[in-house]
Amino acid sequence: MPGSPLSRFAVPQDIAAAIEPVSPEAQIALLERRLARAEAARAAAEHLLEQKSRVLAAANNELTARQDSLSTSLERRTRQLLDAQRVAGFGTMLWDIKRQQLELSPQVQVMIGLEPGSSVKTYRTLVRRLLHEDRRRMLDWMHGELLARLDREHCTRYDGQPCQGSPGPCEEAMREYRIEVRCPGGDGINEGEGVRSLCVMAQFQVDSQCKPAMIFVTVQDITRQVRADNEAAALRTRELQRLEDLERLNEALLVAREQADLANDAKSRFLAMMSHDIRTPLNGVIGMLDLFDESTLTAEQRRTLALVRSSGDQLRVLLNDIIDLARAEAGKLALNPGPTNLVEVLTDGTDFWRHLAHEKSLSLDIVLAADTPTWVEADSVRLRQLIDNMLSNAIKYTSEGGVMVKTRVLPNGWLRTEVIDTGIGIPAHRRAELFIEFNQLNLLGSEPGGAGLGLAICQRIIEVMGGRIGVDDAAHGSCFWFEIPVTRIPVPKRVANPAVRSFAGSGGRAPRVLVAEDLATNRIVVEGCLRKLGCEVRVVADGQQALDAVVSGEPFDLVLMDMAMPVMDGPEATRRIRALPGAMADLPIVALTAFTRPEELEPMMAAGANDSVAKPIVIDDLYRAMSRALAIPAANGIAH
């Protein structure tokens, strides 16, 4: 043990004698002075302590006020946080691993259907609030992933090495654990209904040794998001189903279209054959009529002949209409534009209709505006077909009054032609039906007649021309009109004497024509027509005979070659003639056939025919085709 820390000192004796009190009075005086000092020190100490107490009290008050302020602020922020959690459908939980304590925010309790403030001591209480089918999954997640972390001796740092309690961020500590579960009671909007979906995310909070101390858990209400996802998935499924339906429908439509195409082809083939088979005998009938020398007939015979001829013409027109329609439907209705005398088409071309109108005591007036061009580039045949169809209808459906054809040029340069009648008129709501094939309106007061093809064909022709067609009300009937683009051209060089229609007066000898035709009737008709045109004629019955005749060296100027013939058909005979040596190979050949569709004529043209003439033979058409093939200007046509 150390000794006493006090070292006593002595003072020199003389000094001690002077200082140390000896007398009682001196000793008392010393004691009084010491006492006075002690008293003064005590008073000073008390004063100082009082001062310090005041300072401490003031400090205490200040600290209390600050604590109150901080408490209020903390309370407000806590309330804001809880409000934010409630609005966001978001809650938090904290699991203190060491103390085994679970702390829930009120929103979590609301979300799982507990009263806010309810006592929840273990996570098993929470698991029991989930849907039955989600409880096992939740427990597996907690035990398999979350709590398994607690059993590990160390965690893993970012570099993959054991962390071993080193300070700094730790992959295990940063890792988030996530699961989605459902609980009954509320869909996020209507409490107490449906199922609530929750997203639970957990993260460990570790101590300085990187050992888990807490598990921080967030719980997010994702009911709306899940519902939206489900609805989107259902929508996608429906859309896919719809798409599949559409694809199936499309396939069915493709099959149907294929079948329709096949049917259409079959119809076209049927029409072609039918028209050929009708044309051939019709050619005989009409052609024979043309061979009658009317000067030798009585008046009664002439009238009968005229009726037969008229019926034949109607039959021919109907046949042509059917063929045109078939062409239009196949997209093969083509134009053959050329210099056309518009005035002639509208005036001379309507003579026949004027004659018909007069028979019904109707007037037929042609009104051409002053700016109507005389010559235009157009398909004169189709143009005449348009006007003929309209005039035919107008006269047919008009019983009194008259018909007027008016033509003028529009500001855009197009030609507008109107056929105005004083007939029964067409109700506005039925006008569209006018242009449907084989359709007749059967209006009160009308006299049904014809095949109902005229206007439908007109519309197809107008479509090909790039124009418009329609019908409007007229003052006392209907106004049918069409507008087409036309190109004004200068007056072409014309040959004189347009009335002459014969090769006889064309300067040289009469053309010598070889006719190859298997049907006897047709042979007679063709021969008659050719003789009318001033030709010398030799007739054979098939292609082989025609070839033999040419090879024999007989000097023919032209061959009229039927297509379908026994022994050797027209195309083959044509090909062989073109293969002959010398000038024989250049012999002009004109196809003579009831096949009129371009694809039907194709074999003949490919074999080397110069031109074609359709049956039933129209003598003018024959004359023009022959003129072109012989390079002789047609007497009533245009110089080539």
Partner 1 sequence: MKGVIIAEMVRWIEQAFSPAIADAVIVRSNLPGDGVYTTVGNYPHTDALAMLGALSEISSKPVAVLADSYGFWLASRFMEIYPEMFEGYTDAVTFLRDVDGQHHREVTKLYPDARTPSIVVVIDGEELTVSYGSHRPLADVAHGLVRGYIDYFGDDLEVVRDQGSPGPHAARFLVRKPAPQSSG
Instruction: Name the minimum Å distance from CB 186 to partner 1.
Output: 56
- Among 6, 475, 491, 631, the residue binding partner 1 under the rule CB under 8 A is 6
Q: Which of 13, 15, 25, 359 binds partner 1 (CB under 8 A)?
A: 15
Residue 34 binds partner 1, judged by CB under 8 A: yes
Question: Considering just the CA atoms, what is the radius of gyration of the chain in Å?
Answer: 59
Per CB under 8 A, which region of 3-11, 80-88, 251-259, 585-593 contacts partner 1? 3-11
**Residue 610 and residue 557 in contact, taking contact as beta carbons nearer than 8 Å:** no
Helix (H, G, I), strand (E, B) or coil at 243: helix
Q: Does 445 bind partner 1 (CB under 8 A)?
A: no
Three state DSSP letters for 384-426: HHHHHHHHHHHHHCCCCCEEEEEEEECCCCCEEEEEEECCCCC
* Local structure of residue 20 (DSSP, 8 states): S
Tell me, letter by letter, the H, E, C secondary structure of 464-522.
Answer: HHCCEEEEEEECCEEEEEEEECCEECCCCCECCCCCCCCCCCCCCCCCEEEEECCCHHH
Asked if residues 529 and 617 have their Cβ atoms less than 8 Å apart, the reply is yes
Distance CA 388, CA 545 (A): 42
Smallest gap, in angstroms, from Cβ of residue 4 to partner 1? 8
Pairwise CA distance, residues 596 & 435, whole Å? 24
- Work out which of 35, 42, 77, 498 binds partner 1, going by CB under 8 A: 42
Which of 625, 639, 613 lies closest to 511 in space, CA to CA?
Answer: 625
Residue 52 interacts with partner 1 (CB under 8 A): yes or no: yes
To the nearest whole angstrom, how small is the minimum distance from the Cβ of residue 181 to partner 1?
Answer: 54
Q: Which is nearer to partner 1, 5 or 24 (CB)?
A: 5
Residue 2 within binding range of partner 1, rule CB under 8 A: yes
Contacts of residue 632, Cβ cutoff 8 Å, sequence gap at least 6: 503, 506, 626
Minimum distance of partner 1 from residue 62's CB (angstroms): 16
SS3 label, residue 367: strand
Out of 41, 57, 240, 432, which residue is the one contacting partner 1 (CB under 8 A)? 41
- Interface pick for partner 1 out of 28, 45, 148, 263 (rule CB under 8 A): 45
Q: Which of 44, 240, 291, 495 is the binder for partner 1 (CB under 8 A)?
A: 44
| Residue 238 binds to partner 1 (criterion: CB under 8 A) | no
Regarding 242 and contact with partner 1 (CB under 8 A), the answer is no
Minimal distance, residue 6 CB to partner 1, in Å: 5
For residue 22, count other CB atoms closer than 10 A to its CB.
8
Cβ atoms < 10 Å from Cβ of 33: 10
Nearer to partner 1 by Cβ, of 41 and 246: the residue is 41
- Is-contact 525 560, C-beta < 8 A? no
| Helix, strand, coil percentages for the chain (3-state, nearest 5) | 50, 20, 30
Piece of 19-27, 330-338, 495-503, 623-631 that binds partner 1 (CB under 8 A): 19-27
**Is the separation of the CB atoms in 598 and 582 below 8 Å?**
no
Binding of residue 11 to partner 1 (CB under 8 A): yes
Instruction: With H, G, I as helix, E, B as strand and everything else as coil, classify residue 638.
Output: strand
CB of 29 to partner 1, least distance (A): 9
For partner 1, the closer of residues 45 and 148 by Cβ is 45
Which C-beta is closer to partner 1: that of 13 or that of 442? 13
Residue 49 touches partner 1, criterion: CB under 8 A: yes
Which of 28, 35, 40, 260 is close enough to bind partner 1 by CB under 8 A? 40
* Rounded distance between C-alpha atoms, residue 580 and residue 551, angstroms: 8
In angstroms, give the least distance from the CB of 208 to partner 1. Answer: 23
Contact 95, 102 (CB under 8 A): yes
By CB under 8 A, is residue 58 in contact with partner 1? Answer: no
* Among the listed residues 37, 257, 494, 509, the single contact to partner 1 using CB under 8 A: 37
**Candidates 33-41, 219-227, 265-273, 290-298 — which segment interacts with partner 1 by CB under 8 A?**
33-41
Compute the least distance from the CB of residue 55 to partner 1, in Å.
11
The label of the residue with tokens 């194709």 reads 602
Beta bridge partners of 479: 420, 472
Least separation in angstroms between residue 16's CB and partner 1 is 8
Q: Pairing mode, if any, of strands 212-221 and 90-96?
A: antiparallel
Smaller CB distance to partner 1: residue 1 or 499? 1
30 binds partner 1 (CB under 8 A): yes
Query: Which of residues 13, 19, 168, 490 is near partner 1 by CB under 8 A?
Result: 19
* Residue 474: φ, ψ to 5°: -115, 175
24 sits near partner 1 (criterion: CB under 8 A) = no
User: Min. distance of Cβ 37 from partner 1 in angstroms?
Assistant: 5
Residue 106, classed as helix, strand or coil, is: helix
Establish how many alpha carbons lie within 13 A of residue 545's alpha carbon, considering only the half-sphere containing its beta carbon.
Answer: 16
Stretch that binds partner 1, among 40-48, 147-155, 354-362, 550-558 (CB under 8 A): 40-48
Interface segment toward partner 1; rule CB under 8 A; list 5-13, 310-318, 336-344, 611-619: 5-13
Maximal CA-CA distance, the chain: 204
Give the one residue of 23, 28, 33, 287 binding partner 1; rule: CB under 8 A: 33
Over the window 84 to 113, marking each residue x when it contacts partner 1 by CB under 8 A and - when it does not, the resulting string is ------------------------------
Positions in the binding site for partner 1 (CB under 8 A)? 1-3, 5-12, 15-16, 19-21, 30, 33-34, 37, 40-42, 44-45, 48-49, 52
